[in-house]
Amino acid sequence: MHLSENALVVLEKRYFMKDEAGNSIEDWDALIHRVAENISAGDEAEYQKFYRLLDSGYFLPNSPTLMNAGGDLQQLSACFVLPIEDSMESIFESIKNAALIHKSGGGTGFSFSRLREANSRVRSTNGVSSGPISFLKVFNAATDAVKQGGTRRGANMAILNVDHPQILDFITSKKDTNELTNFNLSVGLTERFMQAVAEDTDYDLISPYNQQVVDKLNARQVFELIVEMAHHSGEPGIIFLDRINDANPTPLLGDIESTNPCGEQPLLPNEACNLGSINLAAMVDDNAVNWQLLNEVVRDSIDFLDAVIDQSRYPLPQIDEMAKSNRKIGLGVMGWADMLYQLKIPYASFDAVDLAAQVMETIDYEAKKRSMELAEIKGSFPNFKGSIYDTGELKRDTKHCDWDALIKQIQQKGIRNATVTTIAPTGTISMIADTSSGIEPQFSLVYVKNVMDGEKLLYVNKWFEAALEEWGMLTHELLEELSNNGSISHFTEMPEELVAVYQTAHDISPEWHIRMQAAFQKYTDNAVSKTINFQNSASVEDIYMAYELAYQLGCKGLTVYRDGSRQNQVLSVGKSTETASEASPAKKVAPRQRPEVTAGTTQRLETGCGHMYVTINTDNIGACEVFVTMGKVGGCASAQLEAIARLSSLAMRSRIKIESIIRQLKGIRCQSPMWHKGKMITSCGDAVGQALEQFLSMQSGQEIKSLKIQAAAPEDNPEPESGNRSFIALCPDCGSSIEHLEGCLKCPACGWSKC
């Protein structure tokens, strides 16, 4: 497979194995050899098949498999759901188990719906309960303490049923976007609730403690509150629980109550699932879909994913048992937008929606057929008896495949895997494959990558670049202009044929986003990870209609994001980057005078450049100045340290909160990170931020919660009055623009991601 420059950056940074000094000891060939050898478990024919599959670029498994197969960790699954029962023992057992999963590189989902509401009686102590929101904060804090796989914080999903007595508190719990930063939130909606919304009637709130009705709420008003909060910050999302359980392959084992962090993988408690994606952009030959190649790749991919189940080392014995009893896998896709570009089909069209259904029907059918064949060789999944395959209750509309015949065959012969298809986020693996993410439209046709010395490089979608060259329009000047917002929809000189085909996320109305999600969902066992992007000017009513449409079209859930709605974004308008305080001028302030005498403390920190001493002085109001000295450094480095100290001092004497200064400094990275007292110091600026944080801790007499790395502090960056301007969050690693895709944040320049 040809690897792009970006793919090599991502592989080097996140996937190639390293020696003790942190130097890569692999290249692409060594990586796929390691993975193929491990997953094939010594079978030479399987090894050759898996090696070719990976090297072709036709298929890639989820990141834990690429990172960990053949290594010491050997934890190959990405998705886990853990149970939380209504007891202190269960709650803290789940916290411990989540920490083990995060340490191994996995993400976790939880349903908090079984926890009794706050202030209800606890019989064993004659006290009252804290309630699910309180414990949700405990889970969030625990995730802070565990770095996932040594590289990033763990991702979590929290779900609360809409009939829980504390549902209103849950819906509004992330109104402050600095709260619960390690969790995605979704409200579990039932058919009864959705009917009450349609009829504008009340519905019951039921206590998990005794199953008694404790209150009633108006369903439409609750639905409107969910929509209002989603408009505000993108959360909570929604999942349709009854619809998910209608497709539960093993209903005798219990109801599905939660999903993994991005919502595409509903799982029973203690279940895990490993995922992989087919590169649809590579399934096009001579401007047509190569259906034979697609079928072959599906079959080999199912073999690979099924083998992963047996090779994975699961973090808990109960997860090992559940994973091997149901053998769930999730084959999905990436490169859908790039496939449409090649076929010259507009994303926002019924032709694209029809093709989506046909592609996914083909994948789902061939995947189940191959899983049935594996069952004949190796046996069905142990919980096959009583499953929807055993009873013939699997539901599929026949459009292009003979489903009736296949369902009857599976009843007779069995099937190897309880689920076979999932549309998952493909964040970094789609960067390795140099293609578009999942089923998302391209976020931008041209994007800017910030490199050293302020230089900016332009990256262009390869299919769009080829089209411009074909039309004789490929010029640097045009690409510079397009880098403004990455769309050609407003370029009057652009040929209509190109404008129609090369659509980007914000060119496409939410209706078409949802229609596309529904088309793929129709032939997907699990669920579909997708973000419905709205322009900043979108109204609450727009999001209300999107949620209703998702329900009507058969989606299992929905995630929305209104551009610029997160208060902690750094904003980019056109080619210039500005904070919201610049976009919305406020009253100017002058710093207070420095007193003649100050008192303070000095801390010593180890940085990649040497010993650093940070002195923080106070006056009668509070902290007023910072001095930074470092060994024998001089020249530019010394000047930069002095600049950091002077600006920090100026901010302090201007009544800027120290927390805001910390947020700006912490997480700044250089090429020489250093461990210091169990913490990574990523740069000299980061060291000053950590010193300020420790100063606050000493001032308060207790350890304060570590502050998140944010693009800007909320108090410094209020939501602007923005109209239709484009707002772009910037990557904390490289400073390039971030995309909101598949329920995640993703940097297309360096591979940084956060879900």
Q: Which residues are catalytic?
A: 260, 262, 264
Q: How many helices (H) and strands (E) does the chain have?
A: 25, 32
Q: What are phi and psi of 300, to 5 degrees?
A: -65, -35
Q: What are phi and psi of 562, to 5 degrees?
A: -90, 120
User: Within 10 A of 576 (CB to CB), how many other CB atoms are there?
Assistant: 8
> Is the Cα dihedral 236, 242, 245, 247 positive or negative?
negative
Residue 165: cis peptide before it, omega within 30 degrees of 0: no
Q: Can you say how many angstroms the Cα of residue 514 is from the centroid of all Cα atoms in its chain?
A: 19
Using CA atoms, how far apart are residues 685 and 422, in angstroms rounded to an integer?
Answer: 42
Q: Return the amino acid letter for 592.
A: R
Provide the token pair at 450.
Answer: 């910030």
Using CA atoms, how far apart are residues 47 and 323, in angstroms rounded to an integer?
Answer: 23
Provide the token pair at 176.
Answer: 């402050």
Provide the token pair at 257.
Answer: 């109550």
HEC assignment per residue over 12-60: HHHHCCECCCCCECCCHHHHHHHHHHHHHCCCHHHHHHHHHHHHHCCEE
Note the residue count of the chain. 755
- Please state, in angstroms and as integers, the Cα–Cα distance from residue 400 to each residue in 135, 288, 293, 366, 404, following that order: 48, 17, 17, 12, 12
Provide the token pair at 307.
Answer: 């083998």
Provide the token pair at 49.
Answer: 């098949």
Residues 6 or more apart whose Cβ sits within 8 Å of residue 471 = 495, 498
Using CA atoms, how far apart are residues 245 and 227, in angstroms rounded to an integer?
Answer: 24
Radius of gyration for the chain, computed over Cα atoms and rounded to the nearest angstrom: 26
DSSP-assigned beta bridge partners for residue 239:
188, 557
